[in-house]
Amino acid sequence: MTGTPGLGQRKLTVWAEDGVSLAVREYGPTDAPVTVVLLHGHCLGAESWSPVSGDLMRRNADVRIVCYDHRGHGASAEAPARTYTLEQLARDLHRVLRAVATTGPVVLIGHSMGGMTILTYARAHPDEIGTRIVGVGLIATTASGLADAGFGRLLSEPVLSWFQAAVGRAPTSLERVKRLGCRVFAPVIGGVEFGNRTVSHRVLAQAIGMHERTPIVTMTGFLNSFLTHDESRTVPALSAVPTLVLCGSADLVIPPTHAVAIAAHLENCDFVCVDGAGHSVILEQPTPVADAIARLMTRLPASGTAAAHVA
């Protein structure tokens, strides 16, 4: 792991088990009593958390916040398409925790694909839930059945398999088409990602920019893993810790029914539905998201008992 000091942040590089470099940003004191790790969604990046993390830091300067770009996203390295799975992202998360949060309590907060990664991690490391992992937040995410409702139904369309095969044959050519499409269909992307309230041009441009910078191989590579994602049996285990389940009422990508289904199986859950918000609720309405995370932090065990090392 290497680090570079920055204004208000520390930039780190963490190496995944297969040698892929992961770009990590760390904020707050290194000896903070708790570390909050924020995991972003598909075709976004760590910067998607900026409005929320900034709000959280202003509220509590004693909390350490860690954000990182998933493989193939943002400043992290691209990787072989076969590694674009939720299982691999869970292993990447494990490496990040080993590097930046070797001891002490950790709160995991995931948006969309980030939430799916957390659920996959919880299944792989059940002994950490309630010991090392002392809180979990799942935002605009699902435990299973992504293809059953909303825009997720497109995952089961035959044309998607054709498109994935085309990307495998000619990724460079289709990358140029994708970049043009991001510009031409920016209003469509905005309509899908955001809810029924008008968002600023700055927020829309930020979302479009992250989509445009995501390689097309990354875009298509994770889709099969989404289609088979089923961590419904993992969800009840999260009752061992305080949880937050948050969604937008106007989410067209992962409709609120997914969040309701998760919350129904959790005993210590704060369920929040942000009125009018869409899938990119963390960009669109960061204040209620930060409010909900702040409430989650007040519900953590006072003793902070998670002192075990990450193996």
pLDDT at residue 155 tops 50: yes
pLDDT over 90 for what percent of the chain? 63
CB atoms within 10 A of CB 106: 22
| pLDDT interval class at 65 (50, 70, 90) | very high
- The pLDDT score that the predictor gives to residue 193 is 79
169 burial type by CB count under 10 A (0-12 exposed, 13-18 middle, 19+ buried): exposed
pLDDT attached to residue 108: 98
pLDDT: which is higher, 162 or 57: 57
- Average pLDDT score over residue span 286-303: 92
pLDDT band at 94 (very low <50, low <70, confident <90, very high): very high
Neighbours of 224 (CB within 10 A): 16
- How does the average pLDDT of the chain come out, rounded? 85
Instruction: Kindly report the number of other CB atoms within 10 A of residue 127's CB atom.
Output: 10
| Distant-in-sequence, close-in-space partners of 223: CB < 8 Å, separation ≥ 6 | 155, 160, 164
Locate 227 and state its tokens: 């289609």
What local confidence, expressed as pLDDT, does residue 148 receive?
84
As a whole number of angstroms, the distance between CA 306 and CA 293 comes to 19
Instruction: Give the confidence band of 50 by pLDDT, cuts at 50, 70, 90.
Output: very high
**Percent of the chain's residues with pLDDT above 70:** 80
Where does the chain have alpha helices with state H? 50-59, 86-100, 113-124, 158-169, 171-184, 186-193, 201-213, 216-221, 223-228, 256-263, 281-284, 286-298
Q: Are 99 and 66 in contact (CB under 8 A)?
A: no
Q: Which residues of 110-126 are buried (b: 16+ CB within 10 A; e: fewer)?
A: bbbbbbbbbbbbbbebe
Contacts of 207 (CB under 8 A, 6+ apart): 44, 48, 189, 190, 193, 194, 280, 283
Residues 6+ apart with CB under 8 A from 147: 153, 154, 155, 156, 226, 227
Spatial CB neighbours of 63, under 8 Å, sequence gap ≥ 6: 28, 32, 34, 35, 36, 56, 57, 297
- Picking from 68-72, 200-204, 278-282, which range would have the lowest pLDDT averaged per residue? 200-204
Q: What is the pLDDT of residues 159-209, one digit of tens each?
A: 455 455 555 554 555 455 455 444 433 444 555 778 777 788 888 888 888
